[in-house]
């Protein structure tokens, strides 16, 4: 959002209009705009001023006083004037003051190209298994709720709201793989094929686990034991972060990340948000017949 303002005379008033910071189009009323004096010892009649925003996004705020600046806010939960202030004495002329669409409630939201916000739900529990021949583990979503996988495309944005959400939420690519075996294993120097299963490793029956085609966090496989870690490549020029006294928000454009599926979660979280950027991710391929163990 952007509030276009200018001070009308000394102690007169403020005129302007509210426009979207992303599109610079007016945000029509009705809704209420409030100006709260930031100076000390301000006369009672000058401390808090209110006005209605009109259908064209315009407003006139009368009764401003000299000797104080004003902090601006609106009464819509989905609109946030991040750092909208009028300094003492006003501006020499009209000025753009940024404001943003960010609900009061912390969480993740998809913002449509028209500015409508939809709250997201977590889509899956976090599980992990040991990678064969390694002390490292693989993380993956468990029993994914497809209906809760969000899609951000076109003019849409993913919006992170809340100070801890903005500061602590991490993004990790979620990558497809064909069937894999996981578990603790040892490969003795002298062992016959009859003792090995199809993984090529000697695995205790209770310690091995086969996954069909599935999604894995930040990891690609060439086989059951060879893997590579992959990080998310974020285009910083397509991400906007705003922090104010009352809220914090971070906006990811649909092309802020390469097309694909991503997990959003904080350290220690047991569930994750799943978001497809650039369009819905392809479905998993069908599971082939389970391999027959080597005998």
Residue 205 per-residue DSSP state:
G
Pairing label, strands 260-265, 157-161: unpaired
Read off φ and ψ for residue 92, nearest 5 degrees: -65, -25
What span, in angstroms and rounded, lies between the C-alpha atoms of 192 and 194?
5
What span, in angstroms and rounded, lies between the C-alpha atoms of 247 and 167?
12
Q: What is the pLDDT of residue 44?
A: 86
What span, in angstroms and rounded, lies between the C-alpha atoms of 7 and 13?
6
What span, in angstroms and rounded, lies between the C-alpha atoms of 277 and 257?
7
Q: Where are the domains of the chain?
A: 2-101, 107-277
**Chosen CATH of 2-101 out of 3.30.300, 1.10.10, 2.60.40, 3.30.420:** 2.60.40
Q: Are 124 and 145 in contact (CB under 8 A)?
A: yes
pLDDT of the chain along its 295 residues, tens only? 555 555 443 456 788 888 887 778 888 899 999 999 998 888 888 899 999 999 998 888 888 888 899 999 999 988 988 878 877 876 666 767 777 899 999 999 999 988 899 999 999 999 999 888 788 999 999 988 888 999 999 999 999 999 999 999 999 999 999 999 887 654 444 444 444 455 555 555 556 778 899 999 999 999 988 999 999 999 999 999 998 888 999 999 999 999 999 999 999 999 999 999 999 999 999 888 665 554 4
Length of the chain, in residues: 295
Tell me how far the alpha carbon of residue 155 is from its chain's centroid: 15
Q: Tokens 């202030």 label which residue?
A: 85
């Amino acid at each position: 959002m952007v509030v276009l303002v200018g001070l009308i005379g000394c102690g007169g008033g403020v005129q302007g209009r509210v426009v979207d910071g992303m599109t610079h189009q007016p945000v029509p009323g009705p809704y209420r705009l409030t100006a709260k004096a930031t100076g000390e010892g301000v006369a009672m009649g000058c401390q808090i001023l209110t006005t209605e925003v009109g259908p064209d996004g315009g407003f006139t705020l009368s009764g401003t006083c000299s000797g104080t600046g004003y902090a601006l806010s609106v009464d819509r939960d989905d609109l946030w004037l991040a750092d909208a202030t009028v300094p003492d004495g006003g501006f020499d002329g009209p000025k753009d003051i940024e404001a943003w669409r960010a609900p009061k409630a912390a969480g993740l939201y998809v913002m449509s190209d028209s500015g409508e916000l939809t709250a997201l739900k977590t889509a899956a529990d976090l599980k992990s298994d040991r990678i064969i021949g390694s002390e490292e583990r693989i993380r993956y979503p468990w029993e994914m709720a497809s209906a809760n996988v969000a899609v951000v495309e076109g003019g849409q944005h993913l919006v992170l709201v809340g100070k801890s959400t903005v500061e602590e939420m991490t993004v990790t690519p979620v990558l497809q793989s064909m069937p894999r075996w996981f578990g603790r294993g040892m490969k003795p120097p002298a062992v016959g094929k009859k003792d090995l299963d199809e993984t090529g490793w000697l695995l205790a029956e209770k310690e091995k686990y086969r996954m069909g085609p599935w999604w894995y966090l930040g990891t690609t496989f060439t086989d059951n034991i060879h893997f590579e870690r992959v990080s998310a490549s974020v285009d910083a020029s397509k991400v906007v972060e705003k922090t104010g006294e009352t809220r914090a928000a971070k906006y990811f454009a649909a092309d802020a990340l390469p097309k694909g599926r991503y997990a959003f979660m904080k350290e220690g979280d047991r569930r994750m948000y799943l978001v497809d950027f650039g369009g819905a991710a392809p479905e998993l391929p069908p599971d082939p017949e389970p391999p027959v163990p080597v005998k």
